[in-house]
Structure 1
Amino acid sequence: METLTYRFDGGKRRIKPAPELVGVVSSGNLEVLIEAAALNGGCAIEIKTAARGFGAIWEAVMNDFQQRWQLADTRISINDMGATPAVVSLRLDQAVEAMLEEAQ
């Protein structure tokens, strides 16, 4: 397993306080847990992945995700067993959309 961590600052969008879990490692090769956290306006992402050596791809996907959503005070935990970048983006978007829908 490889663990990758990213932090983004300067986001403007906050999510609801209750955590949201999207996906299942065994069915879609990926699960995402997203939760509000006091991070001084930052968004922290931790990825545990069985696919070693893909840090540059993960970084590109996480940068794209944060540019789209601009999250602040958010912690995201990802457990991955080899999902494609498209599945990663889909699951992340699903998690944020669920958090924003319930907050409205």
Structure 2
Amino acid sequence: MQTISIDYPAAEKLSRPVHVGAVSSGDLEIIMIPLPGGSTATVALRTSVDGFDTIWRRVLDRFFAESALVAHYEINDFGATPGMVSLRLAQALEIAREDPDAGQTTTTGGAR
């Protein structure tokens, strides 16, 4: 088990917690928690696969360069591919930016 911690500058606020995915074979879970008054996106990544630091950093750098929300991101990985990581990050961002009064849920266990 490997843990990676990274901080990214961020300006856009997250208004409510978001949860997507599930920790199971070949998948990952992302939990986003608002950081009121903060100015960073803090990432705590736990992965079952050691030695993929460079790939993780590339995927995260690309995402946070375009889409950083001020939040604490808990990413729990169980062997997801880089494509799945990008999909779950995009899914979390989409949910975070949805109108909470539109009847949408903030939690999903599968693809939307």
TM-score clears 0.5: yes
CA RMSD of aligned residues (A): 1.7
1:87 aligned partner:
84
Q: Over alpha carbons, which structure has the higher Rg?
A: 2
Q: Which runs of 5+ in 1 are unaligned?
A: none
Compute the displacement of 1:102 (Å): 2.8
Equivalent residues of 1:34, 1:96 under 8 A apart: no
Look up the match of 1:13. 12
Q: What CA deviation, in whole Å up to 9, does each residue of 1:44-100 have, x standing for no partner?
A: 00110000000011111110010120322x110011010001100110111111011
Matched, 1:45 2:43: yes
Gaps of 5+ in 2: 102-112
Could you tell me whether the CA contact under 8 Å between 1:15 and 1:103 is conserved in 2?
no
State the TM-score, normalized to the length of structure 2: 0.82
Residues 27 and 97 of structure 1: CA distance in aligned 2, closer, same or farther (over 3 Å): farther
Structure with more strand by fraction: 2
Name the structure with the higher helix share.
1
Aligned residues: 101
| SS of structure 1 residue aligned to 2:42 | strand
Distance 2:67 2:42 in 1: 13
Letter paired with 2:5:
T
- Tell me which stretches of 4 or more aligned residues in structure 1 moved more than 4 Å: none
How many percent of aligned residue pairs carry the same amino acid? 35
8 Å CA contact 2:23–2:76 kept in 1: the answer is: yes
